[in-house]
Structure 1
Amino acid sequence: MAIDNGITWEYLIDKAFRPARNARMVIVCTAEDSTVVIPPLPPIAGIKEYPLARPLPIPVMTVAPAYRGQFVAVKTNLAALGLLVANLGVEFSFGRGFSLDLPFYYSPYDINSKFRVRILGTQPELRYWLRRDWPGDGHFFGLNGTVAGFNVSFPGTDRFQDPERALWGVGLSYGYALSFGTHRHWGVEFNLGTGYMNYHLDTFDNAYNGKLMHTEKKDYWGITRIGLSLTYKFRYRKQITSKSQQRRPEHD
């Protein structure tokens, strides 16, 4: 490498080593007398000998596995329970920062002769969590839909019932979830949503076998979802395979 200030070395790299990079050569040697010792060549005047350089070890890089939090939750809406509407929901996370919430509401009974909240419905919601690698805690935004049948009345009002045509609607919501406990399984969740609803409405006199007053169709814009829920989460971790871990090593 030192001859002629490296000119010879650069010539060998360009003209000899590069074309021979993918060459294959087989050398077959035979020796009649294995005890023959080949004498070393005499040194050439003017050429300085350098010791053979030992190859540097190739560093091996290990990548520690990374994990993303996931969960499956069972919940009940305390706000709906306050109206004596039985409800149960399930939510599960997927991907990075997404979850699907599936609540169901069913109340087939009258509280008394003047007060009833009969509901059969669901409000599925797709949620995006700001803590993308640990969904189920913190702030989230949701896109939800509503499908429900109803027969409701309150003291001092008429009775309102859907005429065999379910209420439907869509909306957006914001919420916040907080986990607590030793292993953070238990939690509370609040969310509030606004949007659009369309429904047909039969209005009856709020009395036993009350007469039909009128029928109408309505469009509603406003609050469509209120949640104050108690949750229990089954948490697990999903290993993330990064692009560097997926890439196969290349060798020249």
Structure 2
Amino acid sequence: MKCMKKVLFLFLLLAGMTNVYGQKFAVKSNLLYDATATINLGVEMGLSKKWTLDLSGNYNGWKFGDDMRWKHWMVQPEARYWLCEKFNGHFLGVHAHYADYNVGGIKFLSKNMENYRYQGNLYGAGLSYGYQWLLSNRWSMEAVIGIGWAHLDYDKYPCASCGTVQKSETKDYFGVTKAALSIIYFIK
């Protein structure tokens, strides 16, 4: 709960700084998260001529039957450097991430995800590349891919609905840490 209060405070702080530099403040939705029934919202604001700050968050509290869970929440801030001008064209980013999760019984990801449930948290950081296409004065699309590191700390359960911990583990993951195809609306 403390972490959620910090995230809300940061969001309100960023929302109040929309006139810090430049004329643009954007809200966005990642269509890849939408495809998994994950509620998501991103905000991005201009900091200078070539720098923006993006903050995205998502939540999925759904349980799909007795054996499948895809519950999680995540926050992912990112500083972006635009190669041309902000909110247009190519950009490079540095992102961080934190998430709590409770997932399992998912047949299409792996045998481990099908046969076990994992509950824990992760944190890490990475680098990203993206491109944004202006569609009109107020609308835009962007595609982003990021690679990096995530430290996972979790309990492993023998099935998606079982309550007895089989073991507790920590792992470090290196690979894709960000993927987005977002629709964006600019608030001026």
TM range (shorter): 0.7 to 0.9
Match of 1:199 among 141, 144, 152: 152
Name the counterpart of 2:134. 179
- Specify every segment of 5 or more residues in structure 1 that has no aligned partner in the other structure, as ranges: 1-67, 236-252
Q: Deviations over 1:108-160 (max 9, x none)?
A: 2212222221111100000001113xx10100000000011111111333111
Give the 3-state SS of the residue equivalent to 1:212 in structure 2: coil
Q: Quick check: 1:160 aligned with 2:130?
A: no
Give the 3-state SS of the residue equivalent to 2:66 in structure 1: coil
Name the counterpart of 1:125. 78
Report matched runs for 1:52-131 at 5 Å: 70-131=23-84
Amino acid at match of 1:175: G
Name the counterpart of 2:101. 150
- Alpha-carbon distance, 1:72 to partner: 0.6
Further displaced range: 206-215 or 216-225: 206-215
- Specify every segment of 5 or more residues in structure 2 that has no aligned partner in the other structure, as ranges: 1-20, 108-113
Aligned mates of 1:220, 1:207 — CA distance in 2: 22
Q: Deviations over 1:173-203 (max 9, x none)?
A: 000011113xx21111100000111121211
Give the 3-state SS of the residue equivalent to 2:24 in structure 1: strand
Q: Deviations over 1:14-41 (max 9, x none)?
A: xxxxxxxxxxxxxxxxxxxxxxxxxxxx
Aligned mates of 1:214, 1:97 — CA distance in 2: 47
Aligned mates of 2:181, 2:151 — CA distance in 1: 24
Q: Deviations over 1:68-98 (max 9, x none)?
A: 9641101011111111111111100121210
TM-score, structure 1 as length reference: 0.61
Q: CA RMSD in A?
A: 1.6
**Bigger fraction of residues in strand:** 2
Q: Deviations over 1:56-77 (max 9, x none)?
A: xxxxxxxxxxxx9641101011
Q: How many residues align?
A: 161
Aligned mates of 1:94, 1:207 — CA distance in 2: 44
Amino acid at match of 1:170: A
The answer to whether the 8 A contact 1:128-1:142 is kept is: yes
Larger Rg: 1
